[in-house]
């Protein structure tokens, strides 16, 4: 993931927390990696290229229900977390 805005990491009174505090909207690129893959694939990129819908439909082609929802535009790139969650539930 790459960030278009800085992430905040800090705790109360100047201390630090052991986790990053961020929102999915803070990022402009997302890559996905299945367990059997060695290299992550771009799903959303900052560069103009293939659409999120086309990339997602191709990448998640082994989950017909998700592909159908993507084709019907039930998900858009702002729904990236929901798309990933649904794919992870698709078995």
The answer, yes or no, to whether residue 80 has pLDDT greater than 70, is: yes
Cβ contacts of residue 26 below 8 Å, gap of 6+? 3, 4, 5, 7
Query: Which residues are paired to 2 by β-bridges?
Result: 29
Per-residue confidence (pLDDT) for residue 38, from 0 to 100: 93
Compute the mean pLDDT over every residue in the chain, rounded to the nearest whole number.
77
Residues 42-50: contacts with CB under 8 Å, at least 24 apart: 43/80, 44/77, 44/80, 46/2, 46/4
8 Å CB contact between 56 and 26: no
Q: Where are the domains of the chain?
A: 2-89
How buried is residue 37: exposed, middle or buried, by Cβ count under 10 Å (0-12/13-18/19+)? Answer: exposed
pLDDT bin (cut points 50, 70, 90) of residue 18 is: very low
């Amino acid at each position: 993931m790459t960030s278009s805005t800085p992430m905040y990491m800090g705790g109360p009174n100047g201390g630090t927390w052991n986790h990053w505090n961020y929102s999915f909207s803070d990022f402009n690129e997302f890559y996905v990696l299945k367990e059997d893959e060695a290299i992550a694939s771009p799903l959303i990129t900052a560069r103009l290229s293939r659409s999120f819908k086309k990339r997602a439909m191709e990448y998640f082609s082994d989950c017909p229900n998700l592909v159908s929802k993507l084709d019907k535009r039930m998900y858009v790139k702002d729904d990236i977390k929901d798309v990933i969650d649904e794919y992870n539930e698709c078995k």
